[in-house]
Amino acid sequence: MVPMGNMFLRSEFASTIGSIFFFYTIFERYIPPQLRRNLEKYTQRLIGAVNPYIQIVFHETTGERLERSEVYAAIQNYLSSDSSRQAKRLKADLMRDSKKIVLSMDDYEEITDTYNGAQMSWVASKTVKTEHQPSYYSRGGDGERRYYKLTFHKKHRELVIDSYLNHVVEKGKLIKVENRQRKLYTNNKSDRMFWPRESMWSHVLLDHPASFRTLAMDPAKKKEIVDDLITFSKSKEYYREIGKAWKRGYLLHGPPGTGKSTMIAAMANLLEYDIYDLELTAVKDNTELRKLLIEVSSKSIIVIEDIDCSLDLTGQRKRKKKRGDDDDDDDEEAEEEEKDPKMKEAMKEMQNDKQSKVTLSGLLNFIDGLWSACGDERLLVFTTNHVDDLDPALIRRGRMDKHVELSYCTFEAFKVLAKNYLGLESHHLFETIEQQLNEIEITPADVAESLTPKTAPRDVQACLRNLIEALENAREAARVKAQEQEEKRLLRKEKKKAKLAKEASTSNEEAKREDQQLTAPKETEINGNGKETNNCHN
C-alpha cells in the first residue's frame, strides 16, 4: 500500500510538470519569434550572471564541408575508458581484429571525470534537424548532429583551458591508435556526385598478413628499409627543425612478381599506417587531386601502383625520339599511322575526352608542393616495372627519397620462402637450387607457387622438386626467348639491309638517268649555207 504522503508528492510533481508544459506551449504559440529570441537571449545572460558553471560544446562536425572533428573523435575515445564504469546506457563496437569490444556512452548520458582534484562533467547529446534545414545538416543525412558538452566550475577555467583539454585530446589519440584497425582506401570516381559531407574516399578494413619477417628479399636490404621506416616515424621534430614536410617518398621498381605490393602491406603493418590506393585514371583534374590529398589522414601511405601505366604523364617532356636509332618495327608503326591521319586525330580526341586531365606538373605539386604539407607522417610510394620510362623530375631525390629495386629471387630470398612455406632451414637439395638461382632469373612469386604444397600432408621433397623443375623450365624458356630475339634481330637486320639496297638502287637509277640526259646527242640542222647548226629550244 502506497503512503498518502508519497501519493500527494507525486500528484504535486505531476501537476507542476503539467503546468510547465502548458505555459511552454502558450509561450511557443502566442509569443512572436523575434520576442522569443530576445527573451531567451536576456534569460541566458541573467542565468550566466548567477551561474558559477561554464560549458564548452564540442560538435561532431566542423568546417564548411562539415567534416568529422578530430577533437570530437579524441574526446569520444577518451570517455570510452570511463563509460563502462559510470554510464548506465552504453554503445558497443567491435574494434581491432574483431576481438576487442569498445564501449562508449550513449546519447544523453553523463559521466564525471576528475583531473588534478577538479571535477568535470561530460554529457553526450544531439540536436535533431528541423524541417527548414537541408538533409546534409548531419553526418550521413540522418537528421542528427551530435556533440559533447563539458561543464566545470569557473574557478577551474585556467586548468581546463591550459592543460585538461590537451590531456583529453592526447590521451584520446593514443587510445585511437591502440584500438583502431588499419584501413585500405580507394578514391571514388570523379563523375559521381558528392554531398557536402561525403568523403571522396571509400575504404575496407586492411587485414593483410604481410610482414618484413616473411618478405622474400636480401636480409641486409630488408634491415636497411626497416631502419629507414622506423627512423622516419620518430622524426617529427627533426623534420620541423629542417623546415620540411613530414613525409618520405619510396620508389619500388622491378619486374612483375617481385613483391612490390607485398612490401607496401608490410610497411603498413610495421608502422600501423592506413593505405590510400590512389587510382589516377579516376581523378578528374589537378584540382580534384589536391582535394583528395586534403582528405588523406596522417599516419598513412599514399600508393600509386604502376605509375608508368596510370596516365600518359610520365616522361611528357621527352616524348620525341631520334628516328635514326629506331628499328624497322617503329618505321612500320609510323607508316600505319600515316595511312589515315584523320582517323588517328579522331581517336586521339575521343581518348582525351575520356581521360583524366591530371598533368605531370599537378602530380609533382601533389608530391612535394605546398599542398603536400597539409598533413603529417605520410609515405608516398610509387611502383613501376619500367623505371627508365619515368620522367626524371618525378623520381628525383626529394620526391622519391629512397629507390628500392626488387629483382629476381636470390638464394637468400629463397631461404625465407622455404622457411615460410615449408618450415625448412636446410635441405640437401638447397645446394642444387642455389646453383640454379645463380644462373636463372625467376621471380619470388614463381618460387612461392612452386613451394606451395599441393597435397595434405605436405610433401617437402615434392615441393623442392617442383621448384627445380620450374627453374629448368625457366632456363629453357629463357633460351627459346633469346633465340627468338636473335632471329628477330637478324630479320630486322636483313630487312634494313634490303631497304638500304633498294634505296641505293633507286638512287643509282636516278643518277644514271641524269647522266644519260647530260650525255645525249644534240639535234642539228643544215642551214642554207650548208653548215650544221645547233637546234636550241628555249
E strands, 154-190, where? 183-187
Instruction: Check residue 295 and report its DSSP letter.
Output: T
For the segment 268-324, what is each residue's pLDDT rounded down to a tens digit?
999 989 999 999 888 888 888 888 888 888 889 999 998 888 766 554 454 444 444
Q: The C-alpha cell of 63 is what?
A: 568546417
**Element holding 203 (H helix, E strand):** strand 201-205
* Sign of the alpha-carbon dihedral angle for 486, 492, 498, 503: negative
pLDDT at res. 325: 46
Looking up cell 638461382, which residue turns up? 437
Model pLDDT, residue 537:
45
Residue 110, pLDDT > 90, answer no
Do 168 and 74 form a contact (C-beta atoms < 8 A)? Answer: yes
pTM of the model: 0.67
Q: Which domains does the chain have, with CATH numbers?
A: 24-179 (no CATH), 184-311+356-405 (3.40.50.300), 324-355 (no CATH), 411-495 (no CATH)
Residue 91 has pLDDT above 60, yes or no: yes
End-to-end CA distance of the chain: 143
Chain centroid offset of residue 238 CA: 25
What is the number of H-type helices and E-type strands within the chain? 18, 17
Q: Band the pLDDT of 326: cuts 50, 70, 90.
A: very low
pLDDT at position 526 over 60:
no
Q: Which residue has the higher pLDDT, 530 or 373?
A: 373
The total of other beta-carbon atoms located within 10 Å of residue 279's CB is 15
Confidence of residue 365 (pLDDT cuts 50, 70, 90): confident
Mean pLDDT of all residues in the chain? 78
- Give 26-35 pLDDT, tens digit per residue: 766 767 777 7
Convert the pLDDT of each residue in 414-448 to its tens digit: 999 999 999 999 999 999 999 999 999 999 999 99
* Phi, psi values for residue 118, rounded to 5°: -100, 140
The one-character DSSP state at 407 is: -
CB burial of residue 263 (10 Å; 0-12, 13-18, 19+): buried
CA distances from 169 to 73, 149, 172, 175, 176 (A): 9, 15, 5, 10, 10
Average pLDDT over residues 448-455: 89
Could you please report the per-residue DSSP string of 276-289? EE--GGG--SHHHH
**Do 90 and 84 contact (CB within 8 A), yes or no?**
yes
Q: Give the residue-averaged pLDDT of 460-468.
A: 92
Q: Which segment, 11-15, 92-96, 162-166, is predicted with the most confidence on average? A: 162-166
Q: What is the pLDDT of residue 381?
A: 95
Amino acid 340: pLDDT: 55
Please provide the size of the chain in residues.
538
pLDDT digits (tens, 9 = 90+) for 134-159: 544 444 445 578 889 999 988 899 99
Helix 444-451 to helix 460-519 angle, to the nearest 10 degrees? 150
Lowest mean pLDDT among 220-229, 320-329, 365-374, 438-447: 320-329
